Amino acid sequence: MKHLLLTTIAAVVLVGCATLVKDTGSTEEEAKKVLIDFFDNLDFENYQRRSFNKIITNDFHIYEIGKHMSRDEFFDFVENNHSSSSIISQDWSLSDFQISTVNETAHIAYRNEGTFISKNNLGVEEVLKINWLESAYFVNENGLLKIKFLHSQEISKELKAE
């Protein structure tokens, strides 16, 4: 009887401890998905500020085009660039991912090739290709992995008229 009681107590304690130990660590796949969602949400046909609430932190900041921007400054930058009626399409191709995760954070360094098709002032279609080296830092915020910081460094740019 004493043995049964000790076994039962041990089982209850172990089950209780097991439920307390929750893996809140970030995974590489989760971080990569959030990054891809970030760029999907930048698409001018789908863009809405509120769509970023599950992707970036409230104190998100970015270094883009040689400038440091807060979350709101970044949104203003995106909206000013999306307001052009000359944009036909945009696409980002992310590659060469180097991902590291520690506890509830992640970091991704990657290459980004953007292709933007638009019409110039003369109505001629132009293709702009830009290559960047970028990195993003992610934190777990209320159970969601979100981008807290993104750094973008342009490495080449090419404009072709079609």
Chain segment 19-66, per-residue pLDDT in tens: 333 444 579 999 999 999 999 999 888 888 999 999 999 999 999 999
Q: Which of 145, 143, 154 is nearest to 60 (CA)?
A: 145
How far CA 95 is from CA of 1, 25, 111, 134, in Å, comes to 63, 24, 5, 10
Chain segment 61-89, per-residue pLDDT in tens: 999 999 999 999 999 999 888 766 678 88
Is a pLDDT exceeding 70 seen at residue 5? no
Q: Which of 58, 77, 57 is nearest to 67 (CA)?
A: 77
Domains of the chain: 26-161 (3.10.450.50)
The predicted model gives 112-124 an average pLDDT of 91
